[in-house]
Amino acid sequence: MSAFHPYHRAADLERLLQDHPIGDAFVTFARRIGRDELFARQDRLFRRCVARAWETGFYRRLWGAAGIEPGDIRGLEDLTRLPVFDKSDLMHSIEAHPPFGDFGGFERDDPTRPPVVFHTTSGTTGRPQALLFGPKSREVQSLLLARVYRWQGMRADDVVHSCYGHGTVNGGHYVREAVLHWTNALFVSAGTGVETPSVRQVGLMREFGTTVLVGFADYLKRLAEVAAEEGITIGEDIRIRMISGHMGAEDKAALARLWGEPACYDWYGVGDTGIVAAEGPDRDGLYVMEDAHVLELLDVDSGAPVQPGEPGDMVCTCIFKDDIYPILRFNTHDVSRERSDPSGAGYGLRRIAGFLGRSDNMVKIKGINVFPHAIGPLLSEVPEFLGEFVCRVTPDGAMAVTAEARPGDGALAKRMQRLLKAKLGIEVRIELVAAGATATMTQVERRQKPIRLIDERLKARTP
């Protein structure tokens, strides 16, 4: 039998922990690290990733087309000389080198290669993309998420109920590994509403004493509604003390009210990169995990760095991925802005405002750039708004928003319209519906990320 690298030996856990501290060691690191020391640390890891990337056909082709040759990139100060790539480049790689592409940097028939962890994107917008990890990069990704969970307050006596999807997609598996490998909490792999029906999920929470919820805010809201429909009393039958998930720009206060006022935390990441930034105990912006990621914010149109406080595409370099599928200057097309005010809690890491929308899901209405995901947080200023909504762009280029709301006075829709006009600078038609009425359009029960935009202009153009 040919020799091969066992998973845990290939992960090199001791070196991993030196480069990426967890628990109290991370808190000390986040408070004491200076910018010069941090840059030197990043530069050391970045150089390893550049060397590894040159071994992949994907980067030799991408960088060669930009006139980059081996030796041109001497360190992190040369990062911006590298071209940016995005999901479309990965899909072209897969088309040319099916089914895994050539960005992974491994030969399937090489018996001495390290183990490769394989998942896919959801493929809801087309062909699913392969997501590839080596043992080291997989464990760093898991450690970083567990680091954040522990920082936010997850304890050994917690029962963690996860609503992230499983199957071939990365989410549920990655979150499970983070809690299992790097915390001592108990983990319940419930999955989406398709994998475990919502009624069954709230029953599991009551039966096993769930104390922590992890998942996407939209579905967590739905579960609170199902619990109420089933006669389950939040705070008595189910006692949640912490929620950590993808709030985006969701109203955390509304989510907390539904679950009995637990502490709610936001974090950001994508399938390729894993967790990039997260709220800490202060819940005052998302701190970038700078020992693992170099995050740039670039102008959506020009690709130039944005001014502090201005929104831009998040472009990520994962300085821990030096085994399988290096990631250098990956444009997520998710939009955020940097927080320039100092951390009141004394942490030295950069902060971002969180997920503000997608530049490739942005629509231009009468010359104004509108991010559909940002509509919900704006409407949350209206007490009657229940949090669920969907935007429609009509064939004539106007925007309409269908929003779930409690019954109000006859002027409720007009109040919402005035609010959006003041915030966005355009007229938006509001259609108010009862709780749950948008579920068919958003597919909140079936999708981890509900649909927030229906562009009817695309249908109108279809021959």
Per-residue pLDDT tens over the stretch 412-457: 999 999 999 888 878 889 999 999 899 888 887 777 678 888 888 7
Q: Is the pLDDT of residue 144 over 90?
A: yes
Higher pLDDT, 125 or 290: 290
Cα separations in angstroms, 386 against 24, 155, 436: 39, 31, 10
Q: What is the pLDDT of residue 253?
A: 83
Q: Is the pLDDT of residue 462 over 80?
A: no
Whether 349 and 370 map to the same domain: the answer is no
Q: Which of 356, 383, 407 is the last residue of a domain?
A: 356
- Of 136-145, 235-244, 445-454, which gets the smallest average pLDDT? 445-454
Question: Which CATH number do you get for residue 198?
Answer: 3.40.50.12780
| Close Cβ partners of 248 (under 8 Å, ≥ 6 residues apart) | 217, 266, 354, 355, 356, 373
pLDDT tens string 185-226:
999 999 988 899 999 999 999 999 999 999 988 889 889 999
CA distance 257 to 334: 28
Report helix, strand or coil for 446: coil
Whether 149 and 265 map to the same domain: the answer is yes
Q: Which of 321, 356, 391 is the last residue of a domain?
A: 356
Read off the pLDDT band of 459 (50, 70, 90).
low
Question: Which CATH number do you get for residue 389?
Answer: 3.30.300.30
Whether 253 and 366 map to the same domain: the answer is no
- Of 82-96, 230-244, 408-422, which gets the smallest average pLDDT? 408-422
For residues 326 and 56, the answer to whether their CB atoms sit within 8 Å is yes
For residues 68 and 81, the answer to whether their CB atoms sit within 8 Å is yes
Q: Is the pLDDT of residue 125 over 60?
A: no
pLDDT tens string 307-362:
988 999 999 999 999 999 999 999 999 889 999 999 999 999 999 998 887 777 77
pLDDT tens string 247-263:
854 568 878 999 999 99
State the pTM of this model: 0.82
Whether 186 and 300 map to the same domain: the answer is yes
The count of domains in the chain is 2
State the chain's mean pLDDT as an integer: 90
- Tell me the residue range of the domain where 98 lies: 1-356
